[in-house]
Chain A
Amino acid sequence: MNTIEEKLWNYIDGTCSDEDRKAIDILIAEDEVYRRKYEELLALNQEFFKMELDEPPMAFTYNVMEAIRAEHAQQPLKAHINKRIIKVISGFFIVSIALLLIMLISNVHTGGSANISVHLPDSLRLPDIKNYLSKPVLEGFLFFDIVLGLFLFDAWLRRKGVSKQV
């Protein structure tokens, strides 16, 4: 059940229904208590609208802009990079990978149930990988992958944290 004050505040704010507004119009015109309360709240409402904003320090804007400049000012514009460039680059990689896969699949000849031989064209002479795959190389490669993975995971978590805060 709305109190008189609640109804009057809704009336002053213009958030009550037409029906309520008409009823309150009549009450204000005929009921002395209602009219006084309405005038009191109306005066208070006008006072509230007169409240003044506080002034920040003089150097506020300067400080904000300096903080932005110091914090890699170009960073927020990352998302503004032309998306066409990203699409072209990703398209290139997708097409290349698709062509390689098609070529690979077309050259696969299954001899038996488990023997699979791949005949690549002569123009594609691949180096003998076995010569390069020594234990230290593999270990180094794995170590690099783990470090890179952790670095990217950390960057992703930071971005997630910032977007949550915002």
Chain B
Amino acid sequence: MQSKLSDIELIEQTLTGNQAAYADLVKRHQRFVFTLALRFAKNREDAEEIAQDCFIKAYRSLSAFQRQSKFSTWLYSIVYTTAMTFLRKKRVDTDSIDDENTYIQLENSSSSHDVNSAENKSRSYYLNQAITQLMPDDAAIITLFYMGEQSLDEISKTLGIEANTVKVKLFRARQRLKEKLEHNLKHEVKELI
């Protein structure tokens, strides 16, 4: 059962040495942090490593959290920098145009169900499949906006870019997601015929 205390109250308790309070914070944010990490890492093992690393870094720097923004915004910025560092270490070129068209199957993902039965595939399955085919930056911005319920200003703080740039990037990411979705659904209809 998760704590009913606010993020700030849990942070204050953590700073007084109550580690259980931090465990509650982890439980509260782990699903989103993991999902966001998965947008960059593309496999669950790496995403788990990134997400775990983020929570440890956040714990170390908790006393430096200024409380001028939401804890989630601060935490997601740590996820972003950690994931980018991870990608650099893995020497994955996130800007490569070739990569954009590369199909990336999410290994062991909860969204990677058995695909033999086309009838069982829901629209949400195709959406998850399409989002894994996006570039990490596009997938992250979509995830922050729709799943993290972050405003454009909050996303700009998380990613360290201007709010107007976020707006443009979000528009482009949605266009690409729409195209991937249409492509996947068209392909599926052909399979059925």
Contact = CB atoms under 8 A, between A and B. Distances in A.
A51 B17 contact: no
Contact of B174 (A9, A74, A80): A9
Chain A CB within 10 Å, residue with most, of B60, B111, B123, B167: B60
B60 A76 contact: yes
A47 B109 CA distance: 20
A56 B48 contact: yes
Contacts of B78: 166
B19 A65 contact: yes
B22 A49 contact: no
B19 to A, nearest CB: 7
B35 A64 contact: no
A13 B19 CA distance: 39
Interface in B151-190: 152, 167, 170-171, 174-175, 177-178
Contacts of B175: 5
Interface string A79-101: 11000000000000000000000
A40 to B, nearest CB: 9
Interface residues of B, number: 51
Interface in B23-66: 23, 26-27, 30-32, 34-35, 38, 44, 47-48, 51-52, 55-57, 59-64
Contacts of A61: 23, 26-27, 30
Q: Is the interface of B mostly helix, strand, loop or mixed?
A: helix
B124 A51 contact: yes
A165 interface: yes
B146 A51 contact: yes
A30 interface: no
B34 A69 contact: no
Interface of A: 5-6, 9-10, 13, 15, 44, 47-57, 60-61, 63-65, 67-69, 71, 73-80, 162-163, 165-166
9 contacts: A48-B142, A51-B124, A51-B127, A51-B131, A56-B34, A65-B23, A76-B61, A77-B63, A166-B60
Given A65-B23, A74-B17, A165-B81, 11 more contacts: A9-B174, A51-B124, A51-B131, A52-B128, A54-B110, A55-B31, A56-B48, A60-B48, A63-B52, A77-B17, A165-B82
